[in-house]
Structure 1
Amino acid sequence: MTKNVMIVDDAAFMRMKLKDILEKNGYNVVAEAQNGIEAVEKYKTEKPNLVTMDITMPEMDGVDALKEIRAFDPTARVVMCSAMGQQGMVMDAIRSGAVDFIVKPFDSDRVIKALDKASL
């Protein structure tokens, strides 16, 4: 299976860091978005196999974007990215259909394990 991923994070540095980890491990980053609105639009056009979604973003947060993406595509595979202390939002995201979550700052091994598991 082709591992096409969209990275969603409002911080360009975090997108760059995640992209570097993913590309070194055989993933193909097909799109990037800096907020939830952009994520929903790009998901519809790019149709990635996986999405990494930051929880806290301007304009539309990751949980709302997750809900919109899952409404458009119930089979969407989304891994949430959160900072420490966002457990409530992470649980909300899991209940809304996220397949896993990774915590910032990113640990390369944990990121790849989560995405490999999510792509099964």
Structure 2
Amino acid sequence: MKRIMVVDDAAFMRMSLKMMLEKNGYQVVGEAENGKVAVQKAKKLNPDIITMDITMPEMDGITALKTLKEVGCKSKIIIISALGQESHVREAMILGANNFIVKPYKEPHVMEILSKL
């Protein structure tokens, strides 16, 4: 079973994604409300996959992605972005993100992306 950490500043988005993932056989091992907390928790939890929102307070998803890669994090990172953030998504992919999902997302698409990891 793949272990996932969900990172999003919106509690509702974390909860809905967590429910979707658990329903489809994934284990959500942690949640974070910003990139700073995500980096701290990723070091402790060592998840297989991290879903990372881009726009968050304290530390955005791009900075968190850079930091995780710099410290040698082996987790696969899926960027989740809103429409209109294409330049950020491109930057994230260059920095080492494994894939991306655009909000609003549909469950079949999320599961397809995750199954490719």
TM bucket normalised to smaller: over 0.9
Q: What residue number does 1:84 align with?
A: 83
Which residue type is aligned with residue 6 of structure 2?
I
Q: What residue number does 2:116 align with?
A: 117
Structure 1: which 5+ runs fail to align? none
Aligned pair in 2 of structure 1 residues 74, 37: CA closer, same or farther (>3 Å)?
Answer: closer
1:33 offset after TM fit, Å? 0.1
Q: How many equivalent pairs are there?
A: 117
Q: Equivalents in 1 of 2:85, 2:113: separation in Å?
A: 18
Pairwise CA RMSD: 0.9
1:116 offset after TM fit, Å? 1.4
Moved over 6 A (4+): none
> What is the TM-score with the length of structure 1 in the denominator?
0.94
Q: What residue number does 1:22 align with?
A: 21
Structure 2: which 5+ runs fail to align? none
Q: What residue number does 1:72 align with?
A: 71
Aligned positions of 1:17-56 closer than 5 A? 17-56=16-55
For the 8 Å contact 1:36–1:64, the answer to whether it is kept is yes
> What is the TM-score with the length of structure 2 in the denominator?
0.96
Identity %: 51
